[in-house]
Structure 1
Amino acid sequence: MSRCALVQMVSGPDFEANLSAAERLVRAAAVDGARLVLLPENFALFDSSGLRALAAAQGQGELQQRLGALARDAGVWLVAGSVPLMLRDDGTEVADGRVRSASLVFDDQGRQRARYDKRHLFDVEVADAQQSYRESAYIEPGTEIVIVDTPCGRLGLSICYDLRFADHYQRLRNAGAELISVPSAFTAVTGAAHWELLLRARAVEFQCYVLGANQGGQHGRGRETWGHSMIVDPWGELRAELAFGEGWCSAEIDLAELHRLRQRMPVSEHGRVAVIE
């Protein structure tokens, strides 16, 4: 077995304060024995207007350099929830002023091992103080699913709003995912209604550990996020949870038990395609 940890934050517009908090919390989780640590979405900057200024090419810029150094110094694999990048994964530039929102995975030597660009964008109306969200105004969607082997298991990557699209997770499961990361900034309204429900559903549907690291508190300008970062096992049970505010939580990942469950209940082998005439 190996231990995974989720970092929950209440990030704001101050890059240095946010990153310092992330570094402190990741190190604390590492001291407690975590081998894989997940940061939430928008952990470095909770301000959409500043994303392009923060964005750099893959492997460049202060943020990515510090994340690699953090993973190396703490001795953990680090899933950096979402990082703004100005280049697509094929090396071409997002030239319309938007960015790619990428979840980057660093190994315990500080090397980048994977990049996943958020596929589903949060363009919705919500009954909160902000009321309207339009991620597509400043983020260009990605197109590919991504799997990476980690010390805790084969990890399928996703970000926040992806959680509502079961086909994304079906593709990850088909590609061999044992764990699924969901770094998020779920609003208080949508989080209260659906966060735990969706995390547990994805864990049960696809017989994976689901790691949901959320933002959790008041961010100013009417923004409030739900928190309740949690690790859910393949049977749908909560193994760790942190309600509100800044902090971290962790749980042991038992891949042997996961595969025993899959053997006893081989759901992936039982799917049938309906034929409509």
Structure 2
Amino acid sequence: MAVSNLKVALIQTDLYWQDKVANLAMFEEKLWQLPKAIDLVILPEMFATGFSMDMESLSEPMNHTICKWMIQVAKQLKVTITGSAIIQDSGKYYNRMLWVSPSGDIDWYDKRHLFRMAQEDESYDMGKKRRVFEVNGWKILPQVCYDLRFPVWSRNGASSDGEMDYDLSIYVASWPAARVKAWDILLQARAVENLSYSIGVNRIGVDGNGVEYSGHSAIYDYKGECVSSAEENEGILILELNYSDLIAFREKFPAWKDADKFELKN
């Protein structure tokens, strides 16, 4: 079956500190500026609150305000929309990357690697399951911020006939300006080593803890070329990813055949 190209929109913006109403209103205004025929919209990490450890007062159960807002947006704009939020589930708190289809169906990935330098590991529960979602035939690996530093968790596997686990990895983030060079390097590396597109969506501005963010949201292709970058500016990146070019490159340069075999254990 032929797979069509994928048109993605990345939203890089400042966030209102711990203010869901203001953030959702701000994103809604930006989303309605999007052109038609977007397949996938990507928001930053904890897009409704900023990166906060105040999970008790900021968390929501599934299908509450944030989830309902995302479902409404997905249905109205006929897009898949994703970004992470603070979710309470079965008495536990998660930095959960929500994934909502145009039909309103909702799925998720819970952040695996919790940023101990900000006590995230003391505030949230670790995700234990790697997920791969699908949009228009594209297989997409969702990841959150600090996950970017751990390549084993995002390693792209392949079957004997060359069918790979995923075609695109997405990292939503609140990645500080002080370490933005590492962000640039690692996003590029994840694309090269996994023979896939790699997208990172980071925020800008200064949060309530005085942490500065400088964006650098970007799209890298399977050869490690940066095909689009927001640098440090507020704005929306829109790009169409080419599936046939990706497959042609994998066939021409089948490095996956020489990959080391291993199994992940939770």
TM-score (norm 1): 0.85
| Letter in structure 1 aligned against 2:41 | V
The equivalent of 2:48 in structure 1 is 44
Deviations 1:139-192 (A, max 9, x none): 11111100011126111110000000000111577761101110001001111x
Deviations 1:213-258 (A, max 9, x none): 1011222431111201111111111121112243210211111111
Structure 2: 5+ residue stretches without partners:
none
| Letter in structure 1 aligned against 2:172 | P
The equivalent of 2:10 in structure 1 is 6
1:242 and 1:249 in contact (8 A); partners too: yes
2:169 and 2:196 in contact (8 A); partners too: yes
Give the Cα–Cα distance (whole angstroms) in 2 for the partners of residues 23 and 173 of structure 1: 38
Task: Describe the shift of the 1:186–1:173 C-alpha distance in structure 2 as closer, same or farther (beyond 3 A).
Answer: farther
The equivalent of 1:109 in structure 2 is 103
Q: Tell me the CA shift for residue 36 of structure 1.
A: 0.5
SS of structure 2 residue aligned to 1:48: coil
Deviations 1:78-106 (A, max 9, x none): 01x2111111xxxx321xxxx11110111
2:87 and 2:94 in contact (8 A); partners too: yes
Give the Cα–Cα distance (whole angstroms) in 2 for the partners of residues 64 and 6 of structure 1: 19
The equivalent of 1:218 in structure 2 is 206
Q: Percent identity?
A: 27
Aligned length: 253
Aligned match for 1:20, one of 25, 29, 38 = 25
The equivalent of 1:153 in structure 2 is 138
Deviations 1:4-23 (A, max 9, x none): 11111211222111111222
| Letter in structure 2 aligned against 1:239 | V
Give the Cα–Cα distance (whole angstroms) in 2 for the partners of residues 63 and 224 of structure 1: 25
Task: Describe the shift of the 1:155–1:36 C-alpha distance in structure 2 as closer, same or farther (beyond 3 A).
Answer: same
Q: Tell me the CA shift for residue 116 of structure 1.
A: 0.3
Give the Cα–Cα distance (whole angstroms) in 2 for the partners of residues 107 and 47 of structure 1: 25
Aligned match for 2:94, one of 94, 100, 113 = 100
Structure 1 residues 1-277: aligned runs within 5 Å: 1-11=5-15, 12-29=17-34, 31=35, 33-46=37-50, 48-58=52-62, 60-79=63-82, 81-87=83-89, 92-94=90-92, 99-112=93-106, 114-124=107-117, 133-151=118-136, 153-170=138-155, 176-191=165-180, 193-272=181-260
Give the Cα–Cα distance (whole angstroms) in 1 for the partners of residues 157 and 171 of structure 2: 13
| Letter in structure 2 aligned against 1:195 | W
Give the Cα–Cα distance (whole angstroms) in 2 for the partners of residues 211 and 18 of structure 1: 22
Q: Tell me the CA shift for residue 200 of structure 1.
A: 0.5
Give the Cα–Cα distance (whole angstroms) in 1 for the partners of residues 137 and 251 of structure 2: 20
Give the Cα–Cα distance (whole angstroms) in 1 for the partners of residues 208 and 56 of structure 2: 20
Give the Cα–Cα distance (whole angstroms) in 2 for the partners of residues 33 and 176 of structure 1: 26
Structure 1: 5+ residue stretches without partners:
125-132
Give the Cα–Cα distance (whole angstroms) in 2 for the partners of residues 161 and 227 of structure 1: 15
Task: Describe the shift of the 1:242–1:32 C-alpha distance in structure 2 as closer, same or farther (beyond 3 A).
Answer: farther
2:39 and 2:135 in contact (8 A); partners too: no
1:227 and 1:244 in contact (8 A); partners too: yes
Task: Describe the shift of the 1:252–1:73 C-alpha distance in structure 2 as closer, same or farther (beyond 3 A).
Answer: same
1:9 and 1:43 in contact (8 A); partners too: no
Task: Describe the shift of the 1:136–1:155 C-alpha distance in structure 2 as closer, same or farther (beyond 3 A).
Answer: same
Output the aligned Cα RMSD: 1.9
Task: Describe the shift of the 1:27–1:123 C-alpha distance in structure 2 as closer, same or farther (beyond 3 A).
Answer: same
SS of structure 1 residue aligned to 2:128: coil
